[in-house]
């Protein structure tokens, strides 16, 4: 993988809003669970004399992280891995709790724009879509999965109504030879479902968009990573600690919204019929572990959307940790 150069002009999505919610103060400890090009880490480090533990599953962030470690000597540490493991990764450093966690869910522009990573059908590349450098790839899924399973993945993670037709076309195409390139897959999908660039003057998304989204989410196990990451943050945050999460599509936002609803006591966390003796928190089974900072989702300003069109679907939700015990962790079982 190519090492991306540090781009000092990089401004992460909703930087000011995230900073406002995270509210870093001198001496505090933060986790940036989605380091990427380091926009949030930098914002936190420049705002207060705090410490940041940054996590990323993509080894190609190494160069940017090393430069940042040198610039903010002793205050910045990269912990390679998945944010679902943030509590373990941080406690391995001897840190028992943190004052804030920031998450910016999804792929980075660097990953998306690098054709060799295989996220984009506009720039032809190998059908990888892995955020890390190992594990299942989109090529494995497209070529080796049963037609029914492929259709289910495309439907569930891409919310694609034509999933069955697309899966059928993929299975037919791969009987002629392995599908190994993003452009080849996009063309199979385009032929299967057709593509009208404009309908009544309105530009339409490419018919492969939803299938690519589905494969990416599946390959990187993104939705269970998110659910487990939120629970890990609940585990590691000190009372008063802030959790700020930016997401880009409804599948992610639904998980975040539900998590905060349950944990802030707006919605039951589960069974209300547990015997009192099994509730060892002393606060009752529904004692809220979070208090919302903002009601509902915060959206980017008009100005930001004009400057960066990719920010248009971003939503920020944030809450601060109470002193109630965390809920039990979701199962770590692999959904695949």
Ligand X SMILES: C[S@@+](CC[C@H](N)C(=O)[O-])C[C@H]1O[C@@H](n2cnc3c(N)ncnc32)[C@H](O)[C@@H]1O
- Reported as type and span, the H/E element at residue 199 is strand 198-199
User: Which CB sits closer to ligand X, 82 or 138?
Assistant: 82
37 is a contact residue toward ligand X (CB under 6 A): yes
Please count the helices (runs of H) and the strands (runs of E) in the chain: 13, 9
Among 30, 44, 52, 57, contact with ligand X (rule: CB under 6 A): 57
Collapsing DSSP to helix, strand or coil, 222 comes out as helix
> Which pair of tokens denotes residue 140?
């494995």
**Chain centre to alpha carbon of residue 24:** 22
Q: Could you tell me the smallest distance in angstroms from the CB atom of residue 263 to ligand X?
A: 20
Q: Which residues on neighbouring strands pair with residue 181, listed in sequence order?
A: 126
Length of the chain in terms of residues written: 336
> How far apart, in whole angstroms, are the C-alpha atoms of residue 175 and residue 172?
5
150 is a contact residue toward ligand X (CB under 6 A): no
55 is a contact residue toward ligand X (CB under 6 A): yes
Q: Could you tell me the smallest distance in angstroms from the CB atom of residue 295 to ligand X?
A: 24
83 is a contact residue toward ligand X (CB under 6 A): yes
> How far apart, in whole angstroms, are the C-alpha atoms of residue 52 and residue 92?
15
User: Which CB sits closer to ligand X, 89 or 141?
Assistant: 89
Tell me the CA distances in angstroms from 70 to 59, 81, 95, 139, one per residue in order.
Answer: 18, 21, 21, 38
User: Which CB sits closer to ligand X, 82 or 230?
Assistant: 82
58 is a contact residue toward ligand X (CB under 6 A): yes
**Tokens 């943050």 — which residue?**
233
Q: Nearest to ligand X by Cβ — which residue?
A: 39
38 is a contact residue toward ligand X (CB under 6 A): yes
Q: Could you tell me the smallest distance in angstroms from the CB atom of residue 315 to ligand X?
A: 13
Write the binding mask 17 to 36 for ligand X: x where contact by CB under 6 A, - elsewhere: -----------------x-x
Binding positions for ligand X, rule: CB under 6 A: 12, 34, 36-40, 55-58, 61, 82-84, 104, 106, 108, 131, 225
């Amino acid at each position: 993988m190519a090492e991306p150069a540090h781009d000092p002009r990089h401004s992460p999505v909703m930087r000011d809003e995230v900073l406002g919610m995270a509210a870093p103060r001198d001496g505090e400890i933060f986790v940036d669970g989605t380091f990427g090009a380091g926009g949030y880490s930098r914002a936190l480090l420049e705002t207060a004399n705090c410490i940041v533990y940054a996590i990323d599953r993509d080894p190609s962030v190494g160069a940017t992280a090393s430069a940042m470690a040198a610039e903010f000597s002793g205050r910045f540490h990269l912990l390679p891995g998945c944010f679902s493991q943030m509590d373990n990764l941080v406690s391995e450093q001897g840190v028992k709790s943190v004052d804030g966690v920031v998450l910016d869910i999804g792929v980075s522009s660097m990953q998306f724009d690098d054709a060799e990573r295989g996220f984009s059908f506009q720039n032809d590349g190998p059908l990888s879509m892995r955020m890390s450098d190992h594990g299942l790839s989109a090529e494995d899924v497209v070529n080796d999965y049963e037609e029914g399973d492929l259709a289910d993945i495309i439907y569930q993670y891409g919310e694609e109504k034509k999933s069955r037709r697309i899966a059928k076309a993929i299975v037919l195409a791969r009987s002629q030879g392995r599908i190994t390139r993003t452009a080849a897959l996009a063309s199979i999908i385009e032929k299967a479902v057709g593509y009208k660039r404009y309908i009544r003057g309105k530009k339409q998304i490419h018919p492969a968009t939803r299938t690519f989204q589905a494969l990416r989410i599946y390959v990187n196990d993104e939705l269970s990573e998110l659910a487990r990451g939120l629970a890990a943050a609940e585990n590691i945050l000190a009372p008063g600690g802030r959790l700020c999460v930016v997401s880009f599509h409804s599948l992610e936002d639904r998980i975040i919204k539900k998590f905060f609803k349950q944990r802030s006591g707006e919605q039951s966390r589960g069974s209300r019929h547990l015997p009192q003796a099994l509730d060892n928190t002393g606060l009752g089974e529904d004692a809220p572990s979070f208090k919302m900072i903002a009601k509902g989702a915060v959206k980017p300003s008009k100005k930001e959307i004009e400057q960066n069109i990719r920010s248009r679907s971003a939503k920020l939700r944030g809450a601060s940790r109470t002193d109630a015990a965390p809920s039990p962790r979701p199962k770590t079982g692999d959904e695949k």
